[in-house]
Amino acid sequence: MNFAATIADRLGGKNTILRRLSLAALMIFVFLLQDTGGLFPAPGGVHAMLLVPLTVCIAMFERELAGLFYGLLAGAMLDAFSAHTVCFHGISLTLIGFICGALITYFMRNNLSCALILSAASVFLYNSVYFIIFCASKAPGNAVVFYFRYYFLSVLYTVIFTPLLYFIVRATVKKFSK
| CATH classification of the domain holding 51 | 1.10.1760
pLDDT at residue number 85: 77
In percent, the amount of the chain with pLDDT more than 90 equals 67
Q: How many domains does the chain have?
A: 1
**Parent domain of 150:** 13-33+42-173
d(CA 88, CA 16): 30
Q: What's the pLDDT score for residue 10?
A: 57
- The tens digit of pLDDT for each residue in 115-130 reads 999 999 999 999 999 9
Q: How far apart are CA 123 and CA 155, in angstroms?
A: 6
Tell me how far CA of residue 24 lies from CA of 162, 168, 178, in angstroms: 17, 13, 19
Establish if 6 belongs to a structural domain.
no
Bin 36: left if φ > 0, else alpha if -120 < ψ < 50, else beta: beta
User: Between 37 and 170, where is the model more confident?
Assistant: 170
Give this prediction's pTM: 0.91
Quick one: pLDDT at residue 172?
96
Q: What is the mean pLDDT of the chain?
A: 90
Please check whether residue 3 lies inside any domain of the structure.
Answer: no
Residue-wise pLDDT tens digits, 41-58: 889 989 999 999 999 999
For residue 96, is pLDDT > 80? yes
The stretch 105-124 carries a mean pLDDT of 96
pLDDT at 13 over 90: no
For residues 151 and 145, give the distance between their C-alpha atoms in angstroms, rounded to a whole number: 10
In a domain? residue 2 = no
Residue 1 included in any domain: no
Calculate mean pLDDT across residues 53-76: 96
